[in-house]
């Protein structure tokens, strides 16, 4: 265990940035956002970023390959490049868990090399959540905000930041920072963990349970009459899917730059009417079916294929951002998983 005084954070960031690119949450006009660190940028105090950390591994848009077309001939240009090492600082427990959820999709055979490339070059420094929000429910999914995963876990007290390296990669970085950090015992961290756990007990959604949902439960929920009411006000905008750290649906499209074709991937949303539309028909005709797909995927389909792991990490972003305030908590409470169930 190492520690550093909070007043020395700029030195810490500067030292990390010397080894590789460093991204950390900073405050912007539109809320907290992961940005590349530069001298003068300070760490945000916000609990979480508006957009999730998935952007680093699964960006909203990315170029997959280029084509040059001449007459009847096509030249395929592999534009992939080895990603440079980077450090993600200040990732919360929920977002760290979301990487595992994404890994099970993108790193399942056949592996997505674009994702894998970035994932392998990232070092995750997580931060325990001193002040969780009322919209937090990571505990529902077995995540402990007092004990995040990551290559290095950090704990922040009033005046110090503590580091606990969890992986070889993390230890190596922490060793490299030994000249500006000092040895620390576990006491302050244990106190901090106890404080966080006490706070987690005060969260209004702490009793939300996943019981009833999970692997193989399609028939129980698919035809539930409540989907109609739950989905009735849904605008179909897809904001929930875009701010969600675990939503991973994508589209592949071509863009003619005038000098060649770029084939790019971009986020897509099951909430959109064209998601499943094809020449031969549309299997999900109304917003009810699209809305149901999103929640069934997170609570039933994904767990069925992934040893019971849910595709939600309780970060609360959808609770904060849905224009009509409909979200997975309301769905779970309506369909089951109630405290009293």
| 42-81 residues near another protein, rule: CB under 8 A | 47, 50-51, 60-61, 64-65, 67, 69, 72-74, 76, 78, 80-81
Q: Which residue in 87, 89, 112, 153 binds another protein (CB under 8 A)?
A: 112
| Edge-to-edge order in the sheet of strand 86-91 | 31-36, 21-28, 86-91, 122-127, 152-156, 160-165, 2-5, 182-183
Helix (H) or strand (E) holding 330: helix 328-335
Residues 6+ apart with CB under 8 A from 294: 240, 241, 247, 270, 271
Q: Give the pair of three-digit tokens for residue 226.
A: 């409540």
Distance CA 320, CA 238 (A): 14
Q: How far is the CB of 301 from another protein (least distance, A)?
A: 5
**Per-residue CA distances from 183 to 97, 128, 156, 186, 187 (Å):** 28, 19, 15, 10, 12
Tell me, residue by residue from 281 to 300, as one string, x for binding to another protein by CB under 8 A and - for no binding: x-xx----x---x--xx--x
CA-based max dimension of the chain: 71
Residues 139-198 that bind another protein (CB under 8 A): none
Residues 302-321 that bind another protein (CB under 8 A): 304-305, 319-321
If one asks whether residue 275 binds another protein (CB under 8 A), the answer comes out as yes
Q: How far is the CB of 180 from another protein (least distance, A)?
A: 30
If one asks whether residue 341 binds another protein (CB under 8 A), the answer comes out as no
In this chain, which stretch among 5-13, 15-23, 144-152, 252-260 interacts with another protein, using CB under 8 A? 252-260
Q: Which residue in 178, 255, 308, 341 binds another protein (CB under 8 A)?
A: 255
Residues 200-239 that bind another protein (CB under 8 A): 202-205, 216, 218, 222, 229, 232-233, 235-239
Query: Do the strands 21-28 and 86-91 form a parallel or antiparallel pair, or are they unpaired?
Result: parallel
């Amino acid at each position: 265990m190492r520690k550093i005084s909070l007043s020395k954070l700029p030195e810490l960031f500067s030292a990390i940035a010397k080894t590789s690119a460093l991204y950390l949450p900073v405050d912007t006009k539109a809320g907290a956002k992961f940005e590349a660190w530069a001298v003068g940028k300070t760490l945000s105090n916000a609990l979480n970023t508006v957009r999730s950390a998935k952007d680093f591994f699964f960006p909203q848009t990315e170029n997959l390959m280029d084509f040059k077309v001449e007459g009847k001939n096509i030249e395929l240009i592999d534009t992939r490049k080895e990603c440079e090492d980077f450090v993600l600082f200040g990732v919360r427990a929920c977002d760290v868990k979301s990487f595992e959820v994404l890994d099970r999709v993108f790193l399942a055979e056949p592996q997505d090399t674009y994702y894998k490339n970035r994932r392998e070059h990232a070092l995750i420094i997580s931060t325990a959540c001193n002040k969780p929000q009322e919209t937090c429910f990571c505990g529902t999914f077995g995540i402990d905000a007092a004990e995040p995963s990551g290559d290095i876990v950090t704990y922040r007290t009033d005046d110090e930041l503590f580091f606990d390296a969890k992986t070889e990669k993390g230890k190596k970085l922490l060793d490299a920072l030994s000249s500006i950090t000092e040895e620390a015992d576990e006491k302050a961290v244990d106190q901090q963990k106890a404080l966080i756990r006490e706070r987690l007990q005060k969260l209004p959604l702490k009793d939300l349970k996943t019981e009833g949902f999970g692997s193989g439960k399609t028939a129980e929920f698919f035809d539930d009459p409540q989907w109609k009411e739950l989905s009735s006000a849904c605008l179909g905008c897809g904001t929930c899917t875009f701010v969600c750290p675990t939503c991973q649906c994508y589209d592949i499209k071509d863009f003619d730059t005038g000098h060649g074709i770029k084939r790019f991937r971009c986020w897509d949303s099951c909430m959109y009417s064209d998601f499943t539309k094809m020449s031969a028909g549309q299997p999900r005709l109304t917003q009810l079916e699209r809305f149901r797909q999103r929640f069934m995927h997170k609570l039933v389909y994904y767990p069925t294929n992934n040893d019971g792991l849910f595709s939600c990490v309780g970060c609360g972003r959808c609770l904060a951002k849905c224009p009509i305030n409909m979200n997975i908590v309301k769905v779970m409470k309506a369909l089951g998983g109630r405290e009293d169930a």
